[in-house]
Structure 1
Amino acid sequence: MLTAFAVLLGITALLAYLNERYLHFPTTVGVTLAGALASVVIFLLSALGLPHLRDWAAGLLETLDFTEFVLNGILSVLLFAGALGLDARQLLRQRASILTLAFFSTLISTFLIGLAAYGVFALVGLSVPLMWALLFGALISPTDPVAVLDLLKRAQVPKKIETLIAGESLFNDGVGVVVFLVLAGVAGIGEHVHGEVTALSVLGLFAREALGGLLFGGALGLLGSYLMRRIESHAVEVLITLALVIGGYVAAAALGISGPLAMVLAGLVISAVKHEVFTPATREHVEGFWETTDQVLNILLFTFIGLDVLLTETNGAQILASVLLIAVALGVRWLSVALPMVFLREREGYSKYTVRLLTWGGLRGGIAISLALSLPDSPWRHYVVTVTYAIVLFTIAVQGLTILPLVRRASAATEALEQAGR
Structure 2
Amino acid sequence: MSSHSEAQCYPLLHSNGSWDGVCNNARATNYLVSDYQDLLNNTGDGGAVFYLPNIELDASDQRTEHVHFQNSAGLLLVLILLSLTILTIWVFKVKRFRVMHETGLSILYGIIIGVVIHYGFPSTPQDEFYLAEKECESSGTVRTFEIGDTVTLQTQGGDGFRCSINSKVFRTREGDRIEEALLFDPELFFFLLLPPIIFYAGYSLQKRHFFRNIGSLLMYAFAGTAISCFVVGAMMYGWVLSTIDNRLSDAFATRNISVPGAPEAFGDNIIPSLLFGSLISATDPVTVLAIFHDLHVDVDLYSLVFGESVMNDAVAIVLYRSVDEYDGDETGFSVAGLFKSFGSFIGVFLGSFLLGTAIGLITALMMKFSRLRNYPLLETSMFILMSYSSFVIAELASLTGIVAILFCGITQSYYTYINMSQESRRRTKEVFELINFLSENFVFSYMGLSLFTFANHQWVPGFIIFSFVAIFTGRVINIYVLSFLLNLGRSKKISFRFQHMLVFAGLRGAIAFALAIRNTETEERQLMFTTTLVIVLITVLICGGFTTLALQCLRIRVGVDDDDDSLNPDGQEIPYDSTQGNLLISKFSVLDKK
SS in 2 for 1:247: helix
CA deviation vs aligned residue, 1:176-226 (integer Å, no higher than 9, x gap): 1111111111168xxxxxxx9533322221111101111111111111212
Structure-2 residue corresponding to 1:191: none
SS in 2 for 1:61: coil
Root-mean-square deviation (CA, aligned residues, Å) is 3.0
C-alpha displacement of 1:101: 0.5
Query: Within 5 A, what are the aligned runs for 1:206-355?
Result: 206-229=345-368, 230=370, 231-232=372-373, 233-273=375-415, 276-312=418-454, 318-345=460-487, 347=490, 348-355=492-499
Q: Which amino acid aligns with 1:391?
A: I
C-alpha displacement of 1:227: 1.8
Question: 2-side partners of 1:222 and 1:316: how far apart?
Answer: 46
- In the alignment, structure 1 residue 158 sits paired with structure 2 residue 298: yes
Question: 2-side partners of 1:148 and 1:68: how far apart?
Answer: 27
Q: Which residue, 195, 203, 215 being the options, matches 1:96?
A: 215
Question: 2-side partners of 1:70 and 1:315: how far apart?
Answer: 19
Structure-2 residue corresponding to 1:116: 235
Contact preservation (8 Å) 1:34, 1:306: yes
CA deviation vs aligned residue, 1:307-357 (integer Å, no higher than 9, x gap): 111234689961232122123212321221111101224614322222221
Contact preservation (8 Å) 2:318, 2:348: yes
Question: 2-side partners of 1:155 and 1:345: how far apart?
Answer: 27
C-alpha displacement of 1:52: 4.3
Contact preservation (8 Å) 2:203, 2:409: yes
Question: 2-side partners of 1:48 and 1:202: how far apart?
Answer: 48
Determine which structure has greater relative contact order: mean sequence separation of CA pairs < 8 Å that are 6+ residues apart, divided by chain length.
1
Q: Which moved more, 1:175-184 or 1:271-280?
A: 271-280
C-alpha displacement of 1:151: 4.3
CA deviation vs aligned residue, 1:362-402 (integer Å, no higher than 9, x gap): 12112212211223522322221111111111111111111
Contact preservation (8 Å) 1:143, 1:364: yes
Q: Which residue, 180, 196, 201 being the options, matches 1:59?
A: 180
Contact preservation (8 Å) 1:224, 1:241: yes
SS in 1 for 2:182: helix
Q: Which moved more, 1:131-140 or 1:322-331?
A: 322-331
Question: 1-side partners of 2:319 and 2:182: how far apart?
Answer: 28
Contact preservation (8 Å) 2:123, 2:174: no
Question: 1-side partners of 2:358 and 2:182: how far apart?
Answer: 37
User: Identity across aligned pairs (percent)?
Assistant: 24
Structure-1 residue corresponding to 2:164: none
SS in 1 for 2:519: coil
Cα 1:54–1:159 change in 2 (3 A) is farther
Structure-2 residue corresponding to 1:381: 525
Q: Report which of the two structures shows the higher radius of gyration computed on alpha carbons.
A: 2
- In the alignment, structure 1 residue 141 sits paired with structure 2 residue 216: no
TM-score normalized with structure 1 length: 0.88
Question: 1-side partners of 2:440 and 2:382: how far apart?
Answer: 22
Question: 1-side partners of 2:509 and 2:190: how far apart?
Answer: 12
Cα 1:401–1:97 change in 2 (3 A) is same
Structure-1 residue corresponding to 2:34: none
Q: How many residues align?
A: 413
Q: Which amino acid aligns with 1:297?
A: S
Q: Which residue, 33, 44, 49 being the options, matches 2:119?
A: 44
C-alpha displacement of 1:246: 2.2
C-alpha displacement of 1:150: 4.0
Give the gaps of 5 or more residues in structure 2. Answer: 1-66, 126-171, 244-258, 329-334, 570-594
Q: Which residue, 177, 197, 217 being the options, matches 2:317?
A: 177
C-alpha displacement of 1:173: 0.7
- In the alignment, structure 1 residue 361 sits paired with structure 2 residue 505: yes
Give the gaps of 5 or more residues in structure 1. Answer: 189-195
C-alpha displacement of 1:303: 1.0
C-alpha displacement of 1:168: 1.2
C-alpha displacement of 1:236: 2.3
Question: 2-side partners of 1:141 and 1:93: how far apart?
Answer: 25
Q: Which amino acid aligns with 1:42?
A: I
Q: Which residue, 184, 190, 201 being the options, matches 1:82?
A: 201
- In the alignment, structure 1 residue 412 sits paired with structure 2 residue 557: yes
CA deviation vs aligned residue, 1:112-139 (integer Å, no higher than 9, x gap): 1011112334437324242111110000
CA deviation vs aligned residue, 1:28-87 (integer Å, no higher than 9, x gap): 11111221122223333247999946413320122x22x212122221111111111111
Contact preservation (8 Å) 1:98, 1:164: yes
Cα 1:6–1:316 change in 2 (3 A) is closer
Q: Which moved more, 1:80-89 or 1:142-151?
A: 142-151
C-alpha displacement of 1:21: 5.0
Question: 2-side partners of 1:355 and 1:47: how far apart?
Answer: 50
SS in 1 for 2:325: helix
C-alpha displacement of 1:238: 2.2
Contact preservation (8 Å) 1:351, 1:414: no
More strand by percentage: 2
Cα 1:297–1:121 change in 2 (3 A) is same
Contact preservation (8 Å) 2:459, 2:527: no
